Structure 1
Amino acid sequence: MNKAAIIVAGGRGTRMGSPIPKQYLEIGGKPVLMHTLEVFYQLDPSIKIVLVIPATDFPLWDELCHKFGFGVSHEVVAGGKSRFQSVKNGLDSLQWEEGLVAIHDGVRPFVSPEVVALSFEKAQLHGSAIAVVPLKDSIRKLTDENKSFYQERQYFRLVQTPQTFDLKMIKQAFDVTELHHFTDDATVYEHQGWQVHLIAGNSENIKITTPEDMEYAQFLLQRNS
């Protein structure tokens, strides 16, 4: 079974307040993005890794790979104007007729290898496998009338990546016009009328977005070292 991982990293670092996009900031002595790619490579070196970044970032990425002696084999593909377009570009770069593809945020370097492996296993069985975690806090639903209502949190999950799919199915799903409610790959898949299959993610699998996230990332690296 052919396996691929599309790592999407098109952020500009606005919320981080950094002149360098967050995916290129260093944690543990190397850029965030390198930690992410290594998770997939170390799990299975045969996984084809496709890195989708803005075309304008290609020289910076080449420079960083040389600087840090980064040897993980991967293909670099130019991203689009939106995440949807970037993922579609990554999918279009895969020439296989059949296989499995994990789509993952480049700034989630702490996804566990066990979650990635499980996502491939369940996607082969069900067509999709979406990593999620339960909520810890109570939640309320806001209305347009400025009211709020209690919600049973056990009926909700926080969605992470990887989101792993049968390649043929997800390519078909992305062969549509982009819609505003396509907030992730699962919503694109669901648009075809298909039910997504959920799997347990890991709580450390944070999306690094703010300076506080960087501090927590440093803590996780030190704890795991």
Structure 2
Amino acid sequence: MQTYVVIVAGGSGKRMGSVLPKQFLLLKNKPVLYYTINAFLKALPECKVIVVLPEDHLELGKEIIDGYFDEQRIQLTVGGETRFHSVQNGLKLVEEEAIIFVHDGVRCLVSDELIRRCYETAMETGSAVPAVECRDSVRIITEDGNDPVDRSKLRLVQTPQTFHSKILLPAFAIDYKAWFTDEATVVEAFGLKVTLVPGEERNIKITNPIDLVIAEKILEE
């Protein structure tokens, strides 16, 4: 079965405090986006990659692909107003029945093991959503103040969120809702349950300047 990877890299970099979107910032002299794309091309040699970028930075994305990769394996498309719409744009380029990964462009440390775990689970159950345990104490804000939450019942969701195309494509044909925060919430709104798989602590999302420092140390290891 064919495998597609939709890499969502439409972020603006506001929290990073940079004019340049975070997916283009350098990490050990290469763009963050390079590591993300390369991780999937190594783990899934036959996959097709779709990179969703801000319209203003399509040319920069093309430069990265031309400089580091076989451009025949990678397609570019423009992001939308929200993550939902960006993923929707990427899915329009899926041309056949497939296992589809949807991954944050700035989760550049995703491992071969996690990618394979998601693939195998999605082949078996139709979905695979990586998640890690919550280590911190958690409280929920209420009208009267705040209350503790049992963290043992909480999971922090990561990507790549992975689905059979027969599930993901029709799910993304439904109308957008403001509470769609990831692909799992869309699939659940479509009426299906998702399968959680163990994520990885090192599969961090580059959001703030300190994350670049952490990512560099992990790469050095």
Any idea what the Cα deviations from partners look like across 1:152-181, whole Å, max 9, x if unmatched?
111000000000001121111000111011
- Residue 199 of structure 2 corresponds to 201
**How far 1:70 moved relative to its partner?**
0.7
- Residue 22 of structure 1 corresponds to 22
Any idea what the Cα deviations from partners look like across 1:55-93, whole Å, max 9, x if unmatched?
221112223445xx3114311111111110110011111
Any idea what the Cα deviations from partners look like across 1:129-164, whole Å, max 9, x if unmatched?
00000011111122022x222221110000000000
**How far 1:214 moved relative to its partner?**
1.1
- Residue 137 of structure 2 corresponds to 138
Q: TM-score, normalization: structure 2? A: 0.96
Residue type of the partner of 2:140?
Answer: K
**How far 1:212 moved relative to its partner?**
1.0
Establish whether residue 112 from structure 1 lines up as the match of residue 117 from structure 2. Answer: no
Residue type of the partner of 2:115?
Answer: V
- Residue 34 of structure 2 corresponds to 34
Residue type of the partner of 1:184?
Answer: D
Residue type of the partner of 1:78?
Answer: V
**How far 1:120 moved relative to its partner?**
0.9
- Residue 13 of structure 1 corresponds to 13
- Residue 186 of structure 1 corresponds to 184
Higher mean C-alpha displacement, 29-38 vs 48-57 = 48-57
SS at match of 1:161: coil
- Residue 121 of structure 1 corresponds to 120
**How far 1:126 moved relative to its partner?**
0.9
- Residue 50 of structure 1 corresponds to 50
* Separation in structure 1 between the aligned mates of residue 101 and residue 93 of structure 2, nearest angstrom: 14
SS at match of 1:14: coil
* Separation in structure 2 between the aligned mates of residue 63 and residue 162 of structure 1, nearest angstrom: 24
Any idea what the Cα deviations from partners look like across 1:164-219, whole Å, max 9, x if unmatched?
00112111100011101101000000001211100001100111011111111111
* Separation in structure 1 between the aligned mates of residue 13 and residue 169 of structure 2, nearest angstrom: 29
Contact residue 119 and residue 162 of structure 2 kept, 8 A: yes
RMSD: 1.1
**How far 1:41 moved relative to its partner?**
0.3
Residue type of the partner of 2:122?
Answer: A
- Residue 171 of structure 1 corresponds to 169
SS at match of 2:68: coil
**How far 1:95 moved relative to its partner?**
1.0
* Separation in structure 2 between the aligned mates of residue 59 and residue 4 of structure 1, nearest angstrom: 22
SS at match of 1:208: coil
Contact residue 174 and residue 190 of structure 2 kept, 8 A: no
* Separation in structure 2 between the aligned mates of residue 64 and residue 162 of structure 1, nearest angstrom: 21
Residue type of the partner of 1:108?
Answer: R
* Separation in structure 2 between the aligned mates of residue 62 and residue 92 of structure 1, nearest angstrom: 19
Residue type of the partner of 2:4?
Answer: A
* Separation in structure 1 between the aligned mates of residue 142 and residue 134 of structure 2, nearest angstrom: 21
Identity across aligned pairs (percent)?
A: 41
SS at match of 2:7: strand
Superposed counterparts of 1:58-69, under 5 Å? 58-66=58-66, 69=67
Any idea what the Cα deviations from partners look like across 1:31-74, whole Å, max 9, x if unmatched?
000100011000121011111112221112223445xx311431
